Amino acid sequence: MTLNQETTLKSYKKHLKDDIKSILDNFVEILKLVKVDLNENSHNYLNSSRIQENYEMNVRAANICRAAQSISKLIYSIKQFIIINDFPLINEAISNKTSYFKVNEIDNKLITLRDEISSELFDLEEDFYSSIIK
């Protein structure tokens, strides 16, 4: 595995961790926001701050969605990465194909075919040149 591939894998790992962390953090934050504090100072609790909290929750929910999509994208690119760097599978495919095409068998058949055709051709030539119509 080359250095480049290792860095790619590391970046995938980091990506995954970041996304999971983002989902978790946002979820926790939403739960925190939901809590109604009875001892809340009425002066601090204004209409505007309520709107702000509402908005924050929405944004955090959207963040969770974004992180989930980002993970699905990550899965997509990991799949690509695996497919492209899966050399054992490719080797197997190549050897399968080689055995599938059966080069030697085909060669032998072709040689047999050639022999048969040439012997037939000999007779045909004999007949052709002996006939009146040429």
Partner 1 sequence: MSLSVNVSLETADEYSVQEITYDGQEKYTQPLSMSENLTKLAQRIDFSRVNNYDDTEPEKSDTVAEEKETLQSAVWPWESVRNKLKSALTELCVLLDDMNVAKDKRYLVLDPVSQEPSEFKPLTALVARKKALAASAAIIQNGVEFLKSHQNDATRSRAMDFHSELMTIRQNWRMKKVGNTILGDLSYRSVGSRYPHPGSFEVTKAPTPQPITSPSNVPSPRASSLKVTVASDLEGVSYIHVNNDTLASGDLSIPLPPVAVSSLESSWQQKLENAQNVLFCKELFAQLAREAVQLQLPIPTLVIGNQIIATLFPGVQLSIGLCHTTVPNKKTTEKQQQTPSRNEHKPVLEHSLHQLLREIHYNSLHHPMPHPATATLGISRKMYFAGPEAYDRHTLMEACKSETMLEQIISQSQHVVLRLRTMYMIDTLACEIKDPLIIAHWLCLNSATKSSVKINIVSYGYESQSRTPLVIHVGVKNIKAICRDGRTFHMSYESQELRYLIMSQVSQHQINAIQALSKLMGWKVLSHNVNCGVGPVEMIGTASSIVLASPNGDRMIAVRHGPQSGAQVSISLSPHEQDFYPSTLVKDRKWQNINGGFKEVMWEKIEGKNLVSKIEYLMACLTNF
Q: Any idea what DSSP says for residue 44?
A: T
Residues of span 76-115 touching partner 1 by CB under 8 A: 77, 79-81, 83-86, 89-90, 93-94, 97, 114-115
Using rule CB under 8 A, residue 118 touches partner 1: yes
Instruction: Identify residues 21-60 at the interface with partner 1 (CB under 8 A).
Output: 30, 33-34, 36, 38, 40-43, 45-47, 50, 53-54, 57-58, 60
Smallest distance, Å, CB 104 to partner 1?
19
Of 30, 100, 87, whose CA–CA distance to 62 is shortest?
A: 30
CA gap 6, 16 in Å, rounded: 15
Nearer to partner 1, 62 or 106 (CB): 62
Judged by CB under 8 A, does residue 20 bind partner 1? no
- The number of CA neighbours under 13 Å toward the Cβ of 44 is 6
- Least distance to partner 1 from the beta carbon of 25, Å? 14
Residues 6+ apart with CB under 8 A from 20: 67, 71
